[in-house]
């Protein structure tokens, strides 16, 4: 019997397994953590992300967690027992100014970030160009903010580091092992059946991301998670124009994130949609399309259509002066796993005493060290980190029947008409 079985070998499952095994090892316990993955480590969303780590966030708890996470990434040997290469080039945030020529929302964010010692400061357009080179197109109606501590990492290096850290700390990794049935007794989970036999443990962590709602509905837990498809492109670039040491560009004018990629490429993807109507549409779509995360591993879904590449080309041309002279290198489709409020689902389940959730809601790679440590602390009853932010607000119990009723009321009946969608706020 294992101390804990983590279901799902993405970056969130792997980091939780590593943190928990390290805590057990430090206490001199002989007990083992087992990580069960139906394909291979980071087979899904965790290998198709952009590797961007920025901390400024409208939600103060999310910014605090991102700050702690940034410190962990930069001293990873303390958290995972080994270090990883990071590219620390900072990030430039860009948005349209309001009719008074200001950006009060980000000015306010800057003040709040200052209070937690996170630098997120306004810079002028020439300073932005200086940091990027003349290929960056600027506009007097835009404002520019700089987050120097932001960094980027390489998803394939993260994947290798996770393999090494699991091994280094003694986590048992079972790949190509799919959990089929969750066995319960009263308010406890007692075991799992898989294609490689039955396994049991004292505790269970759900880190199955987009697959969560399908797997756990079998034992009566409603996990409101679905997928929002997204496309990604990489443009071949000249290092003479866009060097590798290029800041991340978080472009909220054109709704696109850009970063330099190995092999002299410029990488671009669009962010999650924020309106309740758009979020709910993904929950509706899920009923009629390929189930949950299977979307990603379906080969027919991998290639990009011409209009998607063209969309990115049009956006890129608005931000970079030279992109029309460059070459499309590669692209693929991926998905964000999203919840109704676009926040994580973290911590103990409301129905089963020995079940803990660790899900990302579309933007969690950067938080994986802090999320792994937090879940490990909760399981070990050894609170330190989770006292530093409001961990409980991310608990699954917030999605009560009343909450979900209100959510669906926003997209049903009269609310589901186009003339009302602009008014929808949750």
Ligand X SMILES: Cc1cc2nc3c(=O)[nH]c(=O)nc-3n(C[C@H](O)[C@H](O)[C@H](O)COP(=O)(O)OP(=O)(O)OC[C@H]3O[C@@H](n4cnc5c(N)ncnc54)[C@H](O)[C@@H]3O)c2cc1C
* Residue 257: strand pairing partners: 250, 269
Residue 390: count of CB within 10 angstroms of its CB: 13
Could you give the maximum distance between any two Cα atoms of the chain, in Å? 65
- Is 8 an interacting residue with respect to ligand X (CB under 6 A)? yes
Q: Which stretch binds ligand X (CB under 6 A): 16-24, 165-173, 206-214, 389-397?
A: 206-214
Contact residue for ligand X among 4, 13, 266, 389 (CB under 6 A): 13
Q: Cα(12)–Cα(362) distance, rounded to whole angstroms? A: 12
Q: Cβ contacts of residue 99 below 8 Å, gap of 6+?
A: none
Contact residue for ligand X among 4, 143, 203, 208 (CB under 6 A): 208
- Is 49 an interacting residue with respect to ligand X (CB under 6 A)? yes
Contact residue for ligand X among 365, 375, 379, 410 (CB under 6 A): 365
Q: Cα(382)–Cα(109) distance, rounded to whole angstroms? A: 32
359 or 410, CB closer to ligand X? 359
**Per-residue interface string for the shown chain with ligand X, residues 331-360, x marking contact by CB under 6 A:** ---xxx----------------------xx
The CB-of-190 to ligand X minimum distance in angstroms stands at 17
Q: Cα(18)–Cα(20) distance, rounded to whole angstroms? A: 6
- Is 150 an interacting residue with respect to ligand X (CB under 6 A)? no
The CB-of-322 to ligand X minimum distance in angstroms stands at 24
The CB-of-413 to ligand X minimum distance in angstroms stands at 32
Q: What's the DSSP call for residue 197?
A: E
Radius of gyration of the chain (CA): 22
Contact residue for ligand X among 18, 43, 109, 128 (CB under 6 A): 43
Contact residue for ligand X among 3, 22, 23, 38 (CB under 6 A): 38
- Is 250 an interacting residue with respect to ligand X (CB under 6 A)? no
Residue 184: count of CB within 10 angstroms of its CB: 16
120 or 322, CB closer to ligand X? 120
Structure tokens, 298: 């379906």
The CB-of-97 to ligand X minimum distance in angstroms stands at 26
- Burial bucket for residue 131 (CB in 10 Å: 0-12, 13-18, 19+): middle
- Compute how many residues bind ligand X; rule: CB under 6 A: 42
Q: Which stretch binds ligand X (CB under 6 A): 30-38, 141-149, 217-225, 311-319?
A: 30-38
Q: Cα(250)–Cα(248) distance, rounded to whole angstroms? A: 6
**Per-residue interface string for the shown chain with ligand X, residues 260-289, x marking contact by CB under 6 A:** ---------x--------------------
210 or 410, CB closer to ligand X? 210
Beta-sheet strand order (sheet of 248-251)? 121-123, 142-147, 91-96, 248-251, 256-261, 265-269, 226-236, 327-338
Q: Cβ contacts of residue 13 below 8 Å, gap of 6+?
A: 6, 7, 35, 37, 205, 207, 208, 358
- Is 39 an interacting residue with respect to ligand X (CB under 6 A)? yes
Which residues are near ligand X by CB under 6 A? 7-13, 36-39, 43-46, 48-52, 178-179, 207-211, 215, 230, 232, 269, 293, 334-336, 359-360, 362-366
């Amino acid at each position: 019997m294992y101390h804990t079985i983590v279901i799902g070998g993405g970056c969130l499952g792997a980091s939780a397994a590593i943190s928990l095994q390290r805590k057990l090892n430090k206490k001199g316990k002989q007990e083992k953590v087992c990580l069960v993955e139906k394909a291979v480590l980071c087979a899904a969303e965790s290998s198709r992300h952009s590797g961007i780590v920025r901390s400024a966030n409208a939600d103060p708890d999310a910014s605090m967690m991102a700050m702690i996470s940034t410190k962990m990434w930069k001293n990873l040997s303390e958290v995972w027992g080994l270090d990883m290469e990071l590219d620390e080039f900072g990030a430039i945030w860009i948005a349209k100014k309001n009719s008074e020529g200001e950006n009060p929302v980000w000015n306010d964010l800057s003040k709040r970030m200052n209070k937690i010692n996170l630098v997120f400061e306004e810079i002028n357009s020439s300073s932005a160009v200086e940091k990027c080179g003349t290929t960056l197109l600027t506009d007097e109606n835009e404002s520019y903010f700089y987050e120097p501590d932001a960094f980027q990492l390489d998803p394939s290096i993260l994947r290798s580091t996770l393999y090494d850290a699991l091994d280094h700390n003694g986590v048992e990794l079972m790949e190509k092992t799919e959990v089929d049935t969750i066995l319960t007794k009263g308010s406890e989970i007692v075991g799992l059946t898989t294609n490689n036999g039955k396994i049991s443990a004292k505790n269970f962590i759900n880190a199955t991301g987009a697959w969560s709602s399908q797997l756990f509905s079998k034992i009566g837990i409603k996990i409101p998670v679905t997928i929002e498809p997204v496309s990604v492109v990489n443009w071949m670039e000249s290092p003479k124009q866009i060097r590798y040491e290029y800041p991340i560009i978080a472009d909220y004018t054109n709704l696109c994130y850009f970063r330099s990629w190995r092999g002299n490429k410029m990488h671009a993807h669009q962010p999650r949609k924020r309106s309740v109507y758009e979020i709910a549409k993904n929950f509706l779509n899920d009923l009629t399309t390929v189930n949950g995360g299977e979307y990603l591993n379906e080969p027919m879904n991998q290639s990009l259509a011409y209009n998607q590449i063209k969309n990115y080309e049009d956006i890129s041309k608005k931000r970079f002066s030279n992109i029309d002279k460059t070459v499309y290198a590669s692209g693929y489709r991926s998905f964000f796993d999203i919840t109704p409020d676009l926040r994580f689902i973290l911590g103990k389940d409301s129905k089963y005493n020995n079940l803990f959730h660790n899900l990302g809601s579309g933007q969690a790679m950067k938080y994986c060290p802090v999320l792994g440590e937090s879940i490990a602390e909760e399981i070990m009853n050894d609170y330190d980190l989770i006292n530093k932010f409001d961990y409980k607000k991310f608990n699954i119990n917030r999605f009560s029947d009343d909450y979900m009723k209100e959510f669906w009321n926003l997209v049903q009946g009269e609310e589901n008409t186009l003339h009302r969608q602009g008014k929808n706020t949750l």
